Structure 1
């Protein structure tokens, strides 16, 4: 009897947010020099075997782990057994409590809803008062506090570990602007991540993903990642367009990818980078690379603003004002204008400065300058990647 063997081609599972790729760490170095008050990690990851690709301007989603010390402090505070079986996020499978707290749930942020639900698991009067409708203090309480604060502040708890875990949100991925061009670095993806550390409410706090990458991610380890497209932050399709990039601090990330991509494509359009940070001696991220691009003509101009190097603090927007005539000439010539970085202050200041430049150099009213910028935005010539 003859058996027929059907050729079943194995279809690779596409990697995504729900099915991240385990990317191997090739490099993890601190970009800041001695004497810096910052720690900015440059991380290179291998995409070998993933079939993943990306365009300049896209983001990489990273699924981090919580700080082991914080997890241990939670277990100790509640006198929980680390090996106790729990379920997370309505899944059927059980996993050890410690693993759930380390890898699956968010423990560093509180939400209003979560604190209100937690109030049902304790008779603590202070918490009942905090979540009552009359109290406006709940919002104030949750700012900058985490699960450990909540459990310490409002015991005794009559809740099981499972009940507390059920209150917690699934660990959300963190999105970072990709700092490399795949054309220049085949099968690799690079990140530029500033480690976040601060003190609040009498305790040291750490950014979940940034400090995980800074302190616990070694070369050879793997990191669960996926590509997140960013359709609103892209290079011009035509290589002969001029581009102006404003990216202080880690805002340099997508522009490193822009510059690399245009170098590979031998773009004829001019490129102008505005970069700022605290001190030129220790905080000029990617300095050697950028100077190399400048020397090779792959970057036309670079303006730097180092706020702590002078008595008067100088920021990227001050450098824009100094170059207002040329900026307006570039815009009139069809240049694309990009901003990446801090939404709170920098992006707002840069936006207002850009309006001033247009108003002054174009001899326009504030309304006409606003209309000019809106028009640029409609044409896709004013793009922002702010967070």
Structure 2
């Protein structure tokens, strides 16, 4: 009989690897409005590998205080076993709420189904077909605790409520390291999400777990998620332009490390942005060291709160529009990582402005130029 030690284990989304935390530090300086964690994890013994551009999936756990509040509001028994899936597996209620279910997001479906366990007139009015807009507005920014506090008393057991919930999805983060530069390690750059809405402080499930409850020596369940649409050029002599404000710097730290190890001859240009140069210039020393070594050709940084007029990465692009277009015209690859809602749109439109202006083209021709770059894989975005 073959011993189990000889059987290779394949780690994946359904069977994550318990990665040991080697380092967990705040990259922001004292007085910053932000908290950005730099986390180094060991992949030793996992057999896991990745390429620059890939993501690391994390299976997070919910905030213990939020779980305790849910149990307290509903006067549930924390140790009561509940069925968590179609296979009939059970967990104690507290553990199920902490590790298995999504409790920080509401859907219209959850609210509609929960209405069956309450006689609250307001709730029944909210889920009526004609009030769909009010229901949409209600679920936005609220969680399970809000629902249970707002519309009691409930005729629902812990089992009734968990049966309405979906399984907690993994969180994906751009990998911030090159395995060639850091063998058997993976690094992450994670901004802690905290905000107040509907009268309560809210915390990002995974980002605040990493910021508040992940000491060195602990483990985190992880897996590698390939990202086939965000990769370095195959040839190391191609020039690259990278736009990554805030935590959008993560994959570009990976790109720069990889190109430093491989001795790439192509030029590289990074645009970074954040609030204040003094407290928010993530990886400043590292980036400047790479610049001295020649692994990073050019570094332009924009700090939006250091001047009367807000300066963003797209303003820095415009300041160097002639040179930027020359790089593009010589075949440079252009990468954007970060906020989809505002930054990526602004960068996209600025890029078209630069092509139009410096290439002396019509707007349509400039858009066609950028579309052609996209088709050639020379314009890649990793936005969220």
Q: Give TM class, smaller chain.
A: over 0.9
State the Cα distance separating 1:12 from its structure 2 match.
1.2
State the Cα distance separating 1:112 from its structure 2 match.
1.1
Is residue 2:163 matched to residue 1:166? yes
Q: Distance in 2 between matches of 1:8 and 1:214?
A: 36
Q: Distance in 2 between matches of 1:223 and 1:11?
A: 23
Alignment CA distance shift 1:377-1:9 (3 Å): same
Is residue 2:272 matched to residue 1:278? no
Task: Write the deviation string for residues 221-259 of structure 1: whole angstroms up to 9, x where unpaired.
Answer: 000000000000000000000000000000000000000
1:243–1:270 CA contact under 8 A, matched in 2:
yes
User: In the alignment, which residue of structure 2 is the partner of 1:43?
Assistant: 39
1:32–1:40 CA contact under 8 A, matched in 2:
yes
Flag structure 1 segments of 5+ consecutive residues without an equivalent. none
Task: Identify the match of residue 229 of structure 2 among 220, 229, 232.
Answer: 232
Q: Distance in 2 between matches of 1:92 and 1:229?
A: 32
Is residue 2:318 matched to residue 1:321? yes
Task: Identify the match of residue 78 of structure 1 among 58, 74, 78.
Answer: 74
State the Cα distance separating 1:80 from its structure 2 match.
0.6
Task: Write the deviation string for residues 316-357 of structure 1: whole angstroms up to 9, x where unpaired.
Answer: 000000000000000000000000000000000000000000
Q: Distance in 1 between matches of 2:172 and 2:74?
A: 32
Task: Write the deviation string for residues 263-307 of structure 1: whole angstroms up to 9, x where unpaired.
Answer: 000000000000000000000000000000000000000000000
Is residue 2:286 matched to residue 1:296? no
Give the number of equivalent residue pairs: 383
State the Cα distance separating 1:120 from its structure 2 match.
1.2
1:89–1:169 CA contact under 8 A, matched in 2:
no
Which residues of 2 match residues 197-212 of structure 1 at below 5 A? 197-212=194-209
TM-score, structure 2 length as denominator? 0.98
RMSD: 1.1
User: In the alignment, which residue of structure 2 is the partner of 1:263?
Assistant: 260
1:278–1:306 CA contact under 8 A, matched in 2:
yes
Runs of 4+ in 1 over 4 A off after TM superposition: 5-9
1:272–1:300 CA contact under 8 A, matched in 2:
yes
Is residue 2:303 matched to residue 1:306? yes
Which residues of 2 match residues 99-110 of structure 1 at below 5 A? 99-110=95-106
Is residue 2:31 matched to residue 1:26? no
